[in-house]
Amino acid sequence: MTFDEVDEMISSHKEEFLEQLFTFIRQKSISTENEGMTECADLLKAYMEESGIETKIMQTEGHPIVYGEMVRDKHSFTLLIYGHYDVQPADPLDQWVSPPFDPTIRDGRVYGRGTGDNKGQLMAQLLGIKIYKEVFGDLPINLKFVFEGEEEKGSVNLPRFVSDNQELLKADLVYTADGSSHYSGSPLILLGARGMLSIEITVKGAEWDNHSGNTGNIVPNPAWKLIDLLHSMKDENGDVLIEGFYDYIRSPSEKEMELLRQLPFDQKKIGSKIGYSGLTMDGESYYRKLTMEPTFNISGMESGYTGGGVKTIIPATASAKMDIRLVADQDPSYVYDRISDYIKEYDPDMEVEFLGSMKPSRTSADMKIVDVVTNVVHQAYNTKPLIQPSLSGSLPDYVWTSILQTPSIIMPYANFDQRNHSPNENIKLDSFFGGIKCTCTLIERLGEYDKSFEK
């Protein structure tokens, strides 16, 4: 098989493909505001059916999931494609150069809400499948599709959906086109994601705020008590001192460490990008800390008066919110219990509240299927991809690796500077059309792999 016909098909249908993407973007689907969700699910279903995908809308306790499949032979390799059709709110509107739901092309990019996250990448996959069928006929593998409408609000109903439909969703690989390529511009393969635990710690003093002169040295200040607690949880090197916090962490393999060492690292450029000129670590340390180690982050603190001028009080309460990123094999519930136990022992009057969590995931870099997808991306982009064993952020990838017990690979089609979640979100035209070709290549190479694949 050659891909000259695929290139020709993409080139001759660019306007048609872009118009299909534009129609998809124009349909609002803001999950957190429940705007346009049913309409967008129906539109996506229609697109899928036009491509010959047997599609149905499956209800959840929240927004619907659009499920589809193209099954040729139950014994063939089965690829499950995951994505999401919901988008972030467009605010602040005054910072958009062009209207967020009126897609516009400028300087080789399509601008609009959802262009990169995730409608553009989702559409590139559907169009890649459509082109494959038109150029080469029957698909060599089975395809299943799960497109949810709640990713932007934490995928709250996806775990239950996957758990309840394991036989329906049974697959050999889950493939996700989401996120951004590497800042260097190279294609990037991700083999997992860090999980997250969100908590809030509250410390109380008197029943109400007190005059800091009239009751100074008399009424305890909960802000100091909170500071002392937080300080007791970590040492000067940043290591967490809570017993059990580091239990069950899966150590990176030698191959995973080698992949981290191969990732490009420009200390000055990264320091400039994150606004921190004090960055001094080397590349291996940087990527290991970013992907293979948990965090213990204070994301916000609140106590007393912080407005203009002066208000002389001893505050009645102090609180801190924390987001704690977790790595493979750490369980958010277990970690929460260890933190809660520590706080209760430190001071039983302090309160800790569970705010939410997401489990981590990681597909082994030693699996043969990782090599297959790596070769696919290399061929499609004519550039050897970078492989990162884990995303530093958090995605619901664990539903595939933990619940469905299936390897999962994330391959971002969107450009690094896509500005997802921000005004002027965009996807480069080359990235969009490159994603279409990559999907075609993936189908063909998985078909070849299937010939020697043992169930």
For residue range 403-440, what is the model confidence (pLDDT) as tens digits?
A: 999 999 999 999 999 999 999 999 999 999 999 999 99
Cα 409 to chain center, whole Å? 12
Among 247, 446, 255, smallest CA distance to 363 is for 255
Average of per-residue pLDDT values in the chain: 95
Q: What percent of the chain has pLDDT over 90?
A: 93
In this predicted structure, what is the pLDDT of residue 450? 79
113-124 confidence digits (pLDDT tens):
999 999 999 999
Indicate the pLDDT class of residue 452, thresholds 50, 70 and 90. low
- Report how far residue 284's alpha carbon sits from residue 301's, in angstroms, rounded to the nearest whole number: 32
For 199-246, what is each residue's pLDDT tens digit?
999 999 999 999 999 999 999 999 999 999 999 999 999 999 999 999
Reported as a single tens digit per residue, the pLDDT across 36-59 is 999 999 999 999 999 999 999 999
Q: Residue 28: what residue type?
A: K
3-state SS of 339-362? HHHHHHHHCCCCEEEEEEEECCEE
Q: CA 78, CA 406: separation in Å to the nearest integer?
A: 11
Please give the pLDDT value at position 273: 80
* Mean of pLDDT values over 261-271: 92
If you average pLDDT over residues 250-266, what whole number do you get? Answer: 95
The mean pLDDT value for 364-386 works out to 96
Residue 325 confidence (pLDDT): 96
Is it the case that residue 445 has pLDDT exceeding 90?
Answer: yes
3-state helix, strand, coil in the chain (%, to 5): 35, 20, 40
Render pLDDT for 66-116 as a digit per residue (tens, 0 to 9). Answer: 999 999 888 999 999 999 999 999 999 999 999 999 999 999 999 999 999
Q: Round to whole Å and give the CA distance between 397 and 281.
A: 29
Task: Indicate whether 1 pLDDT > 80.
Answer: no
C-alpha to C-alpha distance for 46 and 452, rounded to whole angstroms: 35
User: Locate tokens 């469905």: which residue?
Assistant: 404
What is the structure's pLDDT at 4?
84
> Tell me: the pLDDT tens digits for 276-328?
999 999 999 999 999 999 999 999 999 999 999 999 999 999 999 999 999 99
Give the Cβ contact number of residue 137 at 10 Å. Answer: 8
What integer is the mean pLDDT of 443-455? 78
Distance CA 121, CA 116 (A): 6
Separation CA 223–CA 109 (nearest Å): 49
Q: Which domains does the chain have, with CATH numbers?
A: 4-193+360-450 (3.40.630.10), 195-249+294-356 (3.30.70.360)
DSSP 385: P
Average pLDDT over residues 378-388: 96
Nearest in space to 176 (alpha carbons), one of 409, 435, 418: 409
Residue with the two structure tokens 């075609």: 440
The model's pTM is 0.91
Checking if the pLDDT of 455 tops 70, the result is no
Per DSSP, the residues of 252-284 read PPHHHHHHHHHS---HHHHHHHHT-TT----HH
Q: Supply the pLDDT for residue 453.
A: 56
Tell me the mean pLDDT in the region 156-165: 97
pLDDT of residue 184: 87
Alpha carbon of residue 392 to chain centroid: 9
Among 93, 92, 51, 89, residue whose Cα is nearest residue 68: 51
Residue 75: how many other CB atoms lie within 10 Å:
10
- Dmax of the chain from CA atoms? 85
